[in-house]
Amino acid sequence: MSELLIAMNLAYNTTIKARARYELAQQGPRCGLPAPCEAVRLWHALASAWLLQSDKRFWVGIHSPAYPQGLLALKDPPLILFGDGRLDLLTTRSIAIVGSRSATRTGLGNAQGFGKAFAQARWVVVSGLAEGIDGAAHAGALQAQGGTIAVLGCGPDEVYPKHHAALKRQIIEQGGLVLSEYPPGTAPQAGFFPRRNRIIAGLADALLVVEAAMRSGSLITARVASELGRPVGAIPGSIHSSQSKGCHDMIKKGALLTETAQELMEEAQACLPEFKHACVLQEDDSDCHTEMTCTMDTGALQDEELGRVLQCLGHDPVHTDTLAQQLGLGSEDTLAVLTELELLGLVLGESGNRWVRANGVF
């Protein structure tokens, strides 16, 4: 029996309960399992074919020397992992970025900006390739030509959401890694994503929540990371935004209120396991752009009216009509100024004809 079939039999043999398989795994790679069932043999055939299609593809079982040590601290570590991309990223220092699928433009900007800053400092960015914050975090890391790991809630040959297929391909082509505990041919299912989150928490040396509602899977990921002893940060937002409530609750309970990438990197560096101190993509961190805020030079604006509108606008969304009343301008004139400021990259338009200052993370 091949090593892959043995590992897949341990991970996927449904004739044995999951807890029993974890207990058997502790006995060693050749524990007393029954013969592979038909489903395991089918998955093995699909996995073998998938692995042969690219020299970037690999698998690691829980007994492999290449298995990520951080995952062993989980109560239910994945018994096998399939990867497409750089295997060495599994042992490189990393920070996870998670958050809402229904992110605001400010949240997306923060996720992309922090992802870029972490990658510039040679930290691998870990996330889940999901809509919203996850996708923006991966994009930021790629923009900095850095490493990023996308942990999937489906087989490594699948993608969810479908329109992230190009992003997934770019991650692999630019030297990142796509990772899954599910065998090739496994379609995404709702129950897979919460389990995917524990892998994100286990892989990373710290975790940042960008935006999260009170009932969010990101908060579960943060709780797992905290239980593992990883530093956990959260970005505060508007008191009026439902997407900030989860982050605010985390901060109240002890999460690091995170304003710059440097803050969380310092926390993570202090907690790094010994073997990761030498495992960085590059040693020079001097080019890290860690400050995530910028000062708007309103004096440089040619039109005094642009400066007035920008000065009046804050980081909480404001309706056009409300802003017009505050400035003593007509709604149409105010909207025209806001549109011009948006073209300059100084403000962002939110849903419902509301506006905020750009946060300068791009």
Kindly report, residue by residue over 45-97, the tens digit of the pLDDT.
999 999 999 999 999 999 999 999 999 999 999 999 999 999 999 999 999 99
CATH 1.10.10.10 location in the chain: 298-357
Res 144: pLDDT: 96
Q: How far is it, in rounded angstroms, from Cα 124 to Cα 149?
A: 7
The radius of gyration computed from the CA coordinates of the chain, to the nearest angstrom, equals: 23
Chain centroid offset of residue 321 CA: 36
Res 50: pLDDT: 98
Domain 298-357 in this protein, CATH class: mainly alpha
Query: Which two structure tokens, joined as six digits, stand for 304?
Result: 């005094």
Res 335: pLDDT: 87
Res 105: pLDDT: 83
Parallel/antiparallel/unpaired status of strands 347-350 and 124-127: unpaired
Q: In the 8-state DSSP scheme, what is residue 346?
A: S
CB 124 within 8 A of CB 244: no
The Cβ of residue 284 has, within 10 Å, a number of other Cβ atoms equal to 9
CATH, domain 87-276, list 3.90.550.10, 3.40.50.450, 3.40.50.300, 3.40.920.10 = 3.40.50.450
96-121 in b/e form (b: 16+ CB < 10 A) is bbbbbbebbbbbbbbbbbbbbbbbbb
Residue whose C-alpha is closest to residue 93's, from 119, 74, 112: 119
Q: How far is it, in rounded angstroms, from Cα 223 to Cα 74?
A: 12
Parallel/antiparallel/unpaired status of strands 177-180 and 94-98: unpaired
Q: How far is it, in rounded angstroms, from Cα 1 to Cα 229?
A: 39
Spatial strand order in the sheet of 177-180: 57-61, 80-85, 177-180, 148-151, 124-127, 94-98, 207-209, 232-234, 256-257
Q: In the 8-state DSSP scheme, what is residue 101?
A: S
**Residue 315, helix vs strand vs coil:** coil
**Residue 359, helix vs strand vs coil:** coil
- What are the DSSP E strand ranges found in the chain? 57-61, 80-85, 94-98, 124-127, 148-151, 177-180, 207-209, 232-234, 256-257, 318-319, 347-350, 354-357
CB 256 within 8 A of CB 284: no
Res 337: pLDDT: 87
What is the tens place of the pLDDT at every residue in 210-233? 999 998 889 999 999 999 999 999
The Cβ of residue 189 has, within 10 Å, a number of other Cβ atoms equal to 12
Res 315: pLDDT: 67
Predicted TM-score (pTM) of this structure: 0.81
Per-residue pLDDT of the chain (362 residues; tens, 9 = 90+): 699 999 999 999 888 888 888 888 887 766 667 889 899 999 999 999 999 999 999 999 999 999 999 999 999 999 999 999 999 999 999 999 999 999 988 899 999 999 999 999 999 999 999 999 999 999 999 999 999 999 999 999 999 999 999 999 999 999 999 999 999 999 999 999 999 999 999 999 999 999 999 988 899 999 999 999 999 999 999 888 888 999 999 999 999 999 999 999 999 999 888 777 555 554 433 333 344 443 444 444 446 778 788 878 766 788 989 888 888 888 888 888 888 888 877 888 877 888 887 764 43
Q: In the 8-state DSSP scheme, what is residue 30?
A: T
- Residue ranges of alpha helices (H) inside 190-302 are 192-203, 217-227, 245-252, 261-270
CATH 3.40.50.450 location in the chain: 87-276
Spatial strand order in the sheet of 318-319: 318-319, 354-357, 347-350
Q: How far is it, in rounded angstroms, from Cα 344 to Cα 357?
A: 11
Query: Which two structure tokens, joined as six digits, stand for 281?
Result: 């993509």
Q: How far is it, in rounded angstroms, from Cα 303 to Cα 314?
A: 19
Parallel/antiparallel/unpaired status of strands 347-350 and 256-257: unpaired
